[in-house]
Amino acid sequence: DVLLAQLGDALATSAHQLRSPASAVAVLSKLLLRRLPADDAGGRRLVREMMAQATRMQELLGPLDDMARALPALSAGAADGGAVAASELFSSAALPSPLRGLPSPAPSHGDLVWLQEVLDPLAGALSQMAAARGLRVVRCVDADMPPVRGSEPQLREALMNLLENALKHGRGEAIAVAGSYEEEEEEEE
């Protein structure tokens, strides 16, 4: 019970300490973007990617905040003799890898997410990292690909993990990012 309360405090403090620099990077990036000349396309692209990564970091902190708020209630339940099931604390395989093991907020399964809109900034960020390693990123996503249902932050995190793994462990000259859509044919009865 004391341990859960201490864990909640530690999570809340950590989330706050991480949120402050993430917010600062976002604000400073916006200021830098305003100062860059309009014809500096490369610099502007890099700054936009910094802003996207700062936003991503802030989104990743949400589950930490949720966990920090949930722990006092769990602690109180344990103190009252109520059992705290391990599954309540460690049941979230759908969370981004750094946050697995923490309970997730209720997932949003009804959102329509356009893959191209999520993938473009990620591939742009990856392009800069790949170029530093002598690689290039090739994108080929069908323009007519319909949206998918799910959580945009979770899709973004899953795609970023895949792209980072391709960069870290891939071999060759390029990283291909491809997506296509084929309508399912209805079976005749």
pLDDT for position 95:
38
Q: Residue 97 carries which DSSP code?
A: G
19-31 in b/e burial notation, b at 16+ Cβ within 10 A?
Answer: beebeebbeebee
pLDDT for position 87:
42
Q: What is the pTM of this model?
A: 0.47
Q: Residue 147 carries which DSSP code?
A: P
Mean pLDDT of the chain, nearest integer: 75
Q: At a CB cut-off of 8 Å and minimum separation 6, what does 52 contact?
A: 121, 122, 125
Residue 74 to residues 1, 59, 95, 100, 161, Cα–Cα distance (Å): 8, 24, 20, 18, 31
Distance CA 133, CA 150 (A): 33
Distance CA 47, CA 121 (A): 12
88 pLDDT band, cuts 50/70/90, is: very low
Longest alpha-carbon distance in the chain: 65
Distance CA 128, CA 165 (A): 15
CB 61 within 8 A of CB 13: no
pLDDT for position 80:
52
- Number of Cβ atoms within 10 Å of the Cβ of 55: 17
Torsional class of 134: left (φ above 0), alpha (ψ -120 to 50), beta (otherwise): left
Structure tokens at 73: 């209630």
For the segment 137-179, what is each residue's pLDDT rounded down to a tens digit? 888 888 778 888 888 888 888 888 888 888 888 888 888 888 8
Amino acid type, 71: L
Is the per-residue pLDDT at 6 higher than 70? yes
56-67 in b/e burial notation, b at 16+ Cβ within 10 A?
Answer: bbbbbbebbebb
Is the per-residue pLDDT at 76 higher than 80? no
Distance CA 129, CA 147 (A): 28
